[in-house]
Chains A and B, each alone.
Chain A
Amino acid sequence: MSQNSIVDGNFLADMNRNKLFNIRLSHIVKPLCVSSVGILFFLIIWQSAANRIETSLGQFPGPMQVWEQSLNLVDDYQREREREAAFYVRQSERNAERLAENPDTEIRERMYTGQATFPGQIVTSLYTVGFGFFLASIIAIPLGIICGLSENFYIAINPIIQIFKPVSPLAWLPLVTMMVSALYVSDDPMFDKSFLNSAFTVALCSLWPTVINTTLGVASIDRDLINVSRVIQLSTWKHVQKIVLPSAVPVIFTGLRLSLATGWMVLIAAEMLAQNPGLGKFIWDEFQNGSSDSLGRIMVAVVVIGFIGFLLDQMMLALQRRFSWDKQTIVR
């Protein structure tokens, strides 16, 4: 009798485990299948539509052409790397020769200045958006905190925020360019001017979501927590550090995510218009090239821009998960 029930128990447990496993598997497999089907359909429709569209630069790129061009871009990159390596080899050989002739010659190491490659443009863009976003954050978070703490300050500054918020990066760009060339004069500049132009434009445009969300987060702190702070008489600085900031962190992160997404979008436009290095310039150059491969290459850039945007957002989400105490209201 007791033997029986043990067996039954094990059997039940096994069955449950199997069921659980199946449920978990179906949670992963099902969405994967469904989205694969979705993507496949999209690719088919894209290809067949692309086949029908003739432009002055040839056929509109479909998935096949995009694939081809991305392989080409990787080839270009590798060729460029080989050239670079060859350059350095030649340089060191030449230097060695010169040293052999005359041991007192001053050896100059030159940097290789080849063509910008596609991966190189990606790195430049990431670097620029990172810097612009960083600038925006260190201005926006403190500004938002002050706005959230002081209603009067908020009322004073809100109209300005509301007016600057909808301004397109293209409107800022000429002003930023002129400002940078007027104010950033140095013989040995740490940054390129074009880099600063893009970064400042990104910063100006990605400021607002963080300002607005930080303000919201700070202004909506639980009244009880503020009262606790008043009862134990925290100084203003401690109050911000111990109560305000941690309490607003989840909302601040929501703002930062929006800011980074905005910044990434703005960056491409800024690079295109201002001829700053980066993915935007890559697209513009290809467009100006007007070869039969150009549209395919531009489409590669479009897909890559999309992927990077997605990855940046996932990165922010991971950071938010890591630093936010509020595990319940994590957004997707």
Chain B
Amino acid sequence: MQKFLELSNIGIEFSTDSGVYRALTDVVLKIDQGEFITLIGHSGCGKSTVLNIVAGLLQATEGGVILSGREVTSPGPDRAVVFQNHALLPWMTVYENVELAVKQVFKGSKSKIEIEQWSMHNLELVHMQHVHYKMPHELSGGMKQRVGIARCLAMQPKVLLMDEPFGALDALTRAHLQDSLMEIQKDLNNTVIMITHDVDEAVLLSDRIVMMTNGPAATIGEVAVVDLPRPRDRVQLADDPHYTQIRQQVLSFLYDKQKLPSISPKSQQQDNSVKIAAPKVA
């Protein structure tokens, strides 16, 4: 039985100044419709590369991605991407940013009024309808990221791809956005692949946590199934032994089995190393 989204034996090589660099080998992953997957791994291991291949922004050297029976060959709005730094067009208002995507995706199928309503509706989903007239530079980091998410939701993607969407935000803002995302995902049942470097975030949001080994030639090391009941509440989960156990599994993968990558000039450049969370006292 074919799954909704399949990553079949993906491998990729980059040609660099110092020769060919093999970033990924043999990445295999099957994802169900409505599943929430997080990718976690040390910085520079190839998480973004996996996501970009699914998005069609990069072409795999070997293997490929199959989305509902069709091979992915180029980028498209059925695989919307939320970028780490919001990627809003700075010369357009919040509304125009969403509208540009809506117009493009639904041209022909939605009338002018429907386009307007649909754009506003998606801003409402992320609670940003009240700032629709503002320019991106007038918004806080969290608000920009919400608008970026609204733009993607408005495309009604089959898969929502998120590359460390909350990585640049402070802890409190991040918690708010996580709650919003869970709420939206419950209502819309989106299929999501999200990259994170925050273990708590991964356990809170995911159905499965995909842990990647260090590069070069990175691949999937372990997959943790998060079978905690939904809706999940971060405060209650803190005391949940099962939650703690899953968290422990991810932490031990990252810090015992995969160790931090040895300090090389390349990995020093990466600033978003995995956060080491102090173990919580239950």
A interface residues with partner B (beta carbon < 8 Å)? 222, 224-225, 227-228, 230-234, 238, 242-243, 246-247, 249, 325-326
Known: A227-B83, A233-B77. A243 touches B89 (CB 8 A): yes
Segment at the interface with A among B19-27, B99-107, B119-127, B266-274: B99-107
Residues of B contacting A231 with CB < 8 Å?
55, 57, 75-77, 79-81
- B83 & A232 in contact (Cβ 8 Å cutoff): no
Residue of A nearest to B136 (CB): A325
- B90 & A325 in contact (Cβ 8 Å cutoff): yes
Residues of B contacting A225 with CB < 8 Å?
87, 89
Residues of A contacting B91 with CB < 8 Å?
246-247, 249, 325
Interface check B199, CB cutoff 8 A: no
- A230 & B89 in contact (Cβ 8 Å cutoff): no
Interface check B129, CB cutoff 8 A: no
Interface check B155, CB cutoff 8 A: yes
Interface check B244, CB cutoff 8 A: no
Residues of A contacting B75 with CB < 8 Å?
227, 230-231, 233
A228 to B97, CA, bound (A): 11
Residues of A contacting B49 with CB < 8 Å?
none
A227 to B148, CA, bound (A): 13
A228 to B151, CA, bound (A): 10
Residues of A contacting B56 with CB < 8 Å?
230
Known: A222-B87, A227-B87, A246-B91. A232 touches B155 (CB 8 A): yes
Apart from the given pairs A225-B87, A230-B57, A231-B57, 5 other A-B contacts in the complex at a CB distance below 8 Å = A224-B85, A231-B55, A233-B75, A243-B89, A246-B89
Closest CB in chain B relative to A327 CB, distance in Å: 8
Residues of A contacting B104 with CB < 8 Å?
232-234, 238
- A242 & B90 in contact (Cβ 8 Å cutoff): no
Q: How many A-B residue pairs have CB under 8 A?
A: 52
Residues of A contacting B77 with CB < 8 Å?
231-233
Closest CB in chain B relative to A310 CB, distance in Å: 29
Closest CB in chain B relative to A232 CB, distance in Å: 5
Residue of B nearest to A325 (CB): B91
Residue of B nearest to A227 (CB): B57
A247 to B76, CA, bound (A): 22
Which of A227, A230, A232, A249 is close to B100, meaning CB atoms less than 8 Å apart? A232
- Between B56, B77, B79, B89, the greatest number of chain A beta carbons within 10 A of the residue's beta carbon is seen for B89
A246 to B136, CA, bound (A): 15
Q: Number of B interface residues, CB 8 Å?
A: 22
Closest CB in chain B relative to A304 CB, distance in Å: 38
Residue of B nearest to A324 (CB): B91
Q: Which of B63-90 contact A (CB under 8 A)?
A: 74-77, 79-81, 83, 85, 87, 89-90
Residues of A contacting B79 with CB < 8 Å?
231
Known: A231-B75, A231-B81, A232-B105. A242 touches B57 (CB 8 A): no
* Sample of 20 A–B contacts (CB below 8 Å): A222-B87, A224-B83, A225-B89, A227-B75, A227-B81, A227-B87, A228-B83, A228-B87, A228-B89, A231-B55, A231-B79, A231-B80, A232-B100, A232-B105, A233-B104, A238-B104, A242-B89, A242-B100, A246-B89, A326-B90
Residues of A contacting B89 with CB < 8 Å?
225, 228, 242-243, 246-247
- A233 & B76 in contact (Cβ 8 Å cutoff): yes
A230 to B85, CA, bound (A): 17
- Between A227, A247, A249, the greatest number of chain B beta carbons within 10 A of the residue's beta carbon is seen for A227
Closest CB in chain B relative to A57 CB, distance in Å: 56
- A224 & B100 in contact (Cβ 8 Å cutoff): no
Residues of B contacting A326 with CB < 8 Å?
90
Residue of A nearest to B102 (CB): A232
Residues of A contacting B74 with CB < 8 Å?
230
Residue of B nearest to A228 (CB): B87
Residues of B contacting A238 with CB < 8 Å?
104
Residues of B contacting A246 with CB < 8 Å?
89, 91
Closest CB in chain B relative to A225 CB, distance in Å: 6
Q: Which of B150-178 contact A (CB under 8 A)?
A: 155
Closest CB in chain B relative to A328 CB, distance in Å: 8
A246 to B79, CA, bound (A): 26
Residue of A nearest to B86 (CB): A224
Closest CB in chain A relative to B75 CB, distance in Å: 4
Residue of A nearest to B90 (CB): A325
Closest CB in chain B relative to A230 CB, distance in Å: 4
A234 to B90, CA, bound (A): 17
Closest CB in chain A relative to B156 CB, distance in Å: 12
A277 to B33, CA, bound (A): 75
A242 to B88, CA, bound (A): 12
A225 to B123, CA, bound (A): 20
Residue of B nearest to A222 (CB): B87
Residues of B contacting A224 with CB < 8 Å?
83, 85, 87
